[in-house]
Amino acid sequence: MIEKVDAKKFDELISGETPVVCDFYADWCGPCKMLAPVLDELSDVYAGKANFVKVNVDENMELSIRYGIMSIPFVGVFKKGEMVDKSIGFMPKSEADGFIAKNL
């Protein structure tokens, strides 16, 4: 299960050496609910290579504003505090795997 974090914990994690894959979501978002199990599976595949977390955009509006998140699900890959790539919308597992692999 991917850990749900708040803005403070998110900022701590992305400033570290390990890349972070963050799923920005909302509880009411249907495509977000479809993407969650895909990312859960991939978090096992990439264990030790990246930290996987999720952030509820309704509870952490400052992060939505900071990263210009207008549509969800929004998956961001962060290295050393910077977002290096993003994906908006649902992705099947093969597409999500490719997106993550090319960014690690």
Catalytic residue numbers, as ranges: 29, 32
Q: Give, as one character, the DSSP assignment of residue 5.
A: -
Give CA angle at 20 (15, 23), nearest 5°.
125
Q: In the chain, which residue ranges form alpha helices assigned H by DSSP?
A: 7-14, 30-45, 61-66, 93-103
